[in-house]
Structure 1
């Protein structure tokens, strides 16, 4: 289930980094950068265990939403390992931030905000060393994402695992602002196919949801975020009938937000339907089935995940599967909609575009 396991058989430059970390003034923030399968999590596990064994209080911020070590995926998580551990999955998280998808694309705001808030939380809890594990998105838009993370977190040390010079576009602006150490990628680093990474996630989803129960939740008792679905005003019966007639839809729910319509619908018949997407957002009802949601507390942190099974729009009731118990759900003030559909057996059903909801 985990790609990275604790080993002391590491390239010599890792031990040199360890000596530098030991000598640096504390508290210390360390951000680890690298492409896909470059060994970021393996390095995180190695450093954390070695520093723990020397008596340091270590915090780990796991922001690799697609290949999370600290369960579950689709969140950014903060953990404080209190003893030697083999894999990150053994670490019990103390805080999560909801991203709601397995890829940072289209979700830069959530990625940067989550990392910043959890690093702050780690410092409040008096961590000596905070290690930030990041995603493998380092090209194209990934350069901007990493720039924003570094600017917001202001790490004292950036560890860059790179093949040739692939991270230089990220590192160059920070050469004189923070300490950057370039590391070679271990010859033991294993490349995983897309399907292998998907299978790893499947096992993690399944483990997270394995002891879940289904609850019927009154949506009027929560603030709903991450979607336009309940903003604005409910459309009139006349508007509903006109839209159904024009586009041959069955509309289950409709809102008008300023001058734009938002409808949840099912198609009647199969033929092209053209409309101005600046004037209307139309969501297929089936795209809400098995959609990931987050239960958010009063401080904006995520208490845990749920899988949306059904919404009764007339009664504003939602059927949700979650491992959280009733008391934990009562601590949530907000339900936030994600953009990945996943079953409780771990099978991923697809990603929705940021603007879909």
Structure 2
């Protein structure tokens, strides 16, 4: 009889205990987001208080129009960064997720010797500084670096990796004699979107960006391996034994037993990979800062460049919020695609 009154008294005490965390989140997370949203509506160079007028001019949605709809250099550069990052996402997310799952299944084998050593070896790149690894990759992939030296042993002349702006799609098709990368056809060259021709949109990641994708996959798959490994060890052995008694092979076991059991963890890994790949910054800053030919430019780096190098904090904040919207939409779409699907109910008569 006294439960409702007891619950009523618990409410204020609950808010009292969580109030420190709510205050910290509001002060250091929610408030800066609101302030950045206001800055994205201003023409502000960072030399005055953006909330008291002065040198900060309210321009409304002009910063967003310049990036999305207004013809000019800003839109072209932003479209280039979106194209580069889109190819980064399309390659990095499946490669890092698939490699992480593969490594986890390897080290999860009970009869495998040296499992602890293998786990440490596979995870080691993930705890290494990205700046240090990026610097090492710069030396390895130089025109006369170790990678090209190894390729020369098998008769392959490697490119100057971080100075090659060519898209790998057209390079591959050109080597096969299917297209001429130097003279694109009229349909691809004459039609454009956001200031870039369809030839540029469909060129694929540059050779330099492909090297960054390789680096990111190598340094991230170890973390995903640990996440998948923890989930694999939680799968009851009875399921695998029952499947073995039914005569299923390894491929069927993976498809019908392992992957369904890993669905929540798979969603987590894909979400982490998706968010991280749209926020890539450190590698770009160390390995080229957009060079060669803006083929490694990303929205995160462009936001930094606009704000802290060009003193256009309004445009930098606008890029950040457009990037936030892209991540939000893609994460929602990913959640919908990986949702649990129950059995369809038949029609009631």
TM range (shorter): under 0.3
TM-score, normalising length from structure 1?
0.22
Which protein is bigger by CA-based radius of gyration? 2
Structure showing the higher strand proportion among its residues: 1
Structure 1 or 2: more helix by fraction: 2
Normalising by structure 2, we get a TM-score of 0.23
Report which structure shows greater RCO (CA 8 Å, sep ≥6). 2
